[in-house]
Amino acid sequence: MNTFLQWLSQPWPWYVAGPIIGLTVPALLILGNKTFGISSSLRHICAACVPAGIPFFSYNWRKETWNLLFVLGVGIGGFLATNFLANPDTIVISEATQRDLAALGITDYSDLMPSQIFSWENLFTGKGLLFFVLGGFLVGFGTRYAGGCTSGHAIMGISSLQWPSVIATIFFMVGGFLMTHVLLEPLMKLVGF
């Protein structure tokens, strides 16, 4: 069993992890005529917890209980993986990326997320408000405006041949490249990073 846990805690190659993620889509469609997506779960939680007569939350959220259980399973799986199956090796990051991040003051790769950005101390600073509050709002707004999150469009939408998902995914990628190569450095300087 110990060998199995060691194997499970190692990073899986793309040719194993990719098909497993990809096969989730047809499995959900074949087994229950369900679509893969996470972003709609917040709406289901709000509909269940805040019955205030708001039209957006007035629907039969109980039909989506499977989605809430899926999200709960993702949370439990993330907790188990982080606390019991964590890979003890240092995260591998290319030298070019390390140089770019070092120029922005990010040098600690000992954890899954760089502690220079993702820490409780940073939450109530200017950069914390920019990254977490404004960034979270923009992600939430974009998810609602686009009719789904990046993974929902890229994994579910494209695999079910939905043209709007192809367009959305292209613009997600364009936005990511634009942020990384044009906007990131000026924004980091603006918040004093």
Per residue in 110-155, pLDDT (tens digit) is 777 787 778 888 878 877 777 788 888 888 888 888 888 888 888 8
33 part of a folded domain: yes
User: What is the DSSP-derived secondary structure letter of residue 155?
Assistant: I
Asked if residue 57 lies in contact with residue 50, where contact means CB atoms within 8 angstroms, the answer is yes
Banded pLDDT at 193 (limits 50, 70, 90)? low
* CB 119 within 8 Å of CB 139: no
Q: Does 27 fall in a domain?
A: yes
Task: Establish if 116 belongs to a structural domain.
Answer: no
In the predicted model, what is the mean pLDDT of the chain? 83
> Rounded to the nearest 10 degrees, how much is the dihedral formed by the CA atoms of 129, 135, 140, 142?
150
Would you state the structure tokens that stand for residue 100, as one six-digit string?
């770019």
- Tens-place pLDDT, residues 175-191: 989 988 888 778 777 76
Q: Confidence class of residue 192 from pLDDT cuts 50, 70 and 90?
A: low
48, part of any domain: yes
**Is position 57 within any domain?**
yes
CB 122, CB 128: distance < 8 Å: yes
Residue 184 inside a domain? The answer is: no
The rounded distance, in Å, linking the Cα atoms of 7 and 68 is: 29
Asked if the structure places residue 62 within a domain, the reply is: yes
For residue 167, name the pLDDT band (cuts at 50, 70, 90).
Answer: very high
Q: What percent of the chain has pLDDT over 70?
A: 97
Q: Residue 72: pLDDT above 90? A: yes
At 22, the pLDDT band (50, 70, 90 cuts) reads confident
- Evaluate whether residue 124 is within a structural domain: no
The runs of H, that is alpha helices, within the chain are 2-9, 14-32, 40-49, 65-84, 95-103, 120-123, 126-128, 135-146, 150-151, 158-159, 163-178, 184-190
**89/107 Cα distance (integer angstroms):** 16
Residue 1 is predicted with a pLDDT of 55
Provide the pLDDT for residue 76.
95
Q: Check whether 174 has a pLDDT greater than 80.
A: yes
Indicate the number of domains in the chain. 1
pLDDT digits (tens, 9 = 90+) for 89-98: 777 788 988 8
Give the pLDDT confidence score for residue 178 in this predicted structure: 93
- Contact yes or no for 67/44 (Cβ under 8 A): yes
Identify the domain containing residue 2 by its residue range: 1-89
The model scores a pTM over 0.75: no
Measured CA to CA, the distance from residue 143 to residue 42 in angstroms comes to 11
